[in-house]
Amino acid sequence: EGRPMAYHHEPARAKLPYPLCALAFYAIYGLGFFILLTLVLNHHPLFPLDTENIHWVRSWLFTTVFDYYGAALCLCGIILSTEGILVGGLWSLGCCLLGTPVCCIYMMYRIHRFRTLKLAAPEEDYERIQ
């Protein structure tokens, strides 16, 4: 209760309603990407670059997109858990549809608002932040 108001936004914070579902989602996505990357590297090695081969280009484009969304969805999980469904959903939509610029703006917002990127600050940090 001694937390500064600017840092304490518990009502907006959403706990994952189904943490096991989220755990399963990230485990399946991570394993799926690992399998995809292994297959692509086996069939179409990254080096030497084979940009004239349409199969190589398609495989690496698909793999890169799958990789980006894996990282973006990890960030979206943190955003949704921190900001709540409505605000977090809007940030997440921006991250997924507009990409890196929105992800960076969210990071800048977190740094500006909380003076840290820590997911959970120790109690002694609350005084320093204020």
Average pLDDT, the chain: 86
Q: Residue 45 corresponds to which amino acid?
A: P
Distance, CA of 6 to CA of 92 (rounded, Å): 22
Given pLDDT bands bounded at 50, 70 and 90, which one contains residue 118?
confident
pLDDT tens digits for range 47-102: 999 999 999 999 999 999 999 999 999 999 999 988 999 999 999 999 999 999 99
In this prediction, residue 120 carries a pLDDT of 73
Q: What is the DSSP letter of 3?
A: S
Q: Can you give the pLDDT at residue 19?
A: 83
pLDDT at position 10 is 47
3-state secondary structure of 18: coil
- 2 pLDDT band, cuts 50/70/90, is very low
Question: What span, in angstroms and rounded, lies between the C-alpha atoms of 130 and 126?
Answer: 6
d(CA 87, CA 69): 20
Written as six digits, the tokens of 93 are: 């939509």
Q: Output the pLDDT for position 9.
A: 47
Decide: helix, strand or coil at residue 19: helix
128: tokens are: 């320093």
